[in-house]
Chains A and B, each alone.
Chain A
Amino acid sequence: GNSVTQMEGPVTLSEEAFLTINCTYTATGYPSLFWYVQYPGEGLQLLLKATKADDKGSNKGFEATYRKETTSFHLEKGSVQVSDSAVYFCALFALRGDTGRRALTFGSGTRLQVQP
């Protein structure tokens, strides 16, 4: 079945540090890949996406590259800010088993804490 594995948190960084959150996946067919973010007290929101191999998704200074050969979609940011403190979820959109339908499958989330 489809699955997403993320590095466990929390990840604690100082402001302006470099961020990497690892994400690997297992999927049927050719999934689209996503990073969603959940800020404290808010709902999940889409951060960035990539729909095919070698695509790079980017938004708000975050980037992730769809690596088919390593089945990975690691999230990176060159200089984090306190306002980036949140929980980050890697997700894939792919066929679910033999249903012939697609759905979003999430990883367990990685909490990022950025200290001033």
Chain B
Amino acid sequence: DTGVSQNPRHKITKRGQNVTFRCDPISEHNRLYWYRQTLGQGPEFLTYFQNEAQLEKSRLLSDRFSAERPKGSFSTLEIQRTEQGDSAMYLCASSPTRGAGELFFGEGSRLTVL
């Protein structure tokens, strides 16, 4: 049973460095989502893709953040010039087109910015 896979699971970096996270969704799922979760809070929506098209970006996603899903399969989330406030768990989820809120989440990638 292959669920949503995220890598790396934990990344520690110094302020100002760039980091990239990868998400491999469930293969037959067309939609892919990125969320951010900080301690004691629920996940916050960042962006989502329908196949390779990025259909929406939250205002939380500053210019330093970019996400891609080049072939409609895996996705990457890059953060440039990291800041301490970027420290969080980055969650990826996928769903079929008609999933209507039924998302399948990965275990997340934890970012620590020193």
Contacts and interface: CB of A to CB of B under 8 A. Distances in A.
Interface of A: 4, 32, 34, 36, 41-46, 49, 51, 89, 91-93, 96, 99, 101-109
Contacts of A34: 101-102
Nearest to B3: A43
Contacts of B55: 101
Contacts of A106: 42-44
B85 interface: no
B67 to A, nearest CB: 14
Q: Is the interface of B mostly helix, strand, loop or mixed?
A: loop
A44 B43 contact: yes
A45 to B, nearest CB: 7
5 contacts: A89-B43, A99-B56, A104-B45, A107-B42, A109-B40
A36 B102 CA distance: 10
A92 to B, nearest CB: 8
B19 interface: no
Contacts of B48: 103
Contacts of A101: 55-56
Contacts of A32: 100-101
B75 to A, nearest CB: 16
A35 B94 CA distance: 17
Nearest to A92: B101
Given A99-B56, A101-B56, A43 B42 contact: no
B105 interface: yes
Nearest to A31: B101
Contact of B42 (A49, A51, A109): A109
Given A4-B42, A103-B45, A107-B42, A46 B56 contact: no
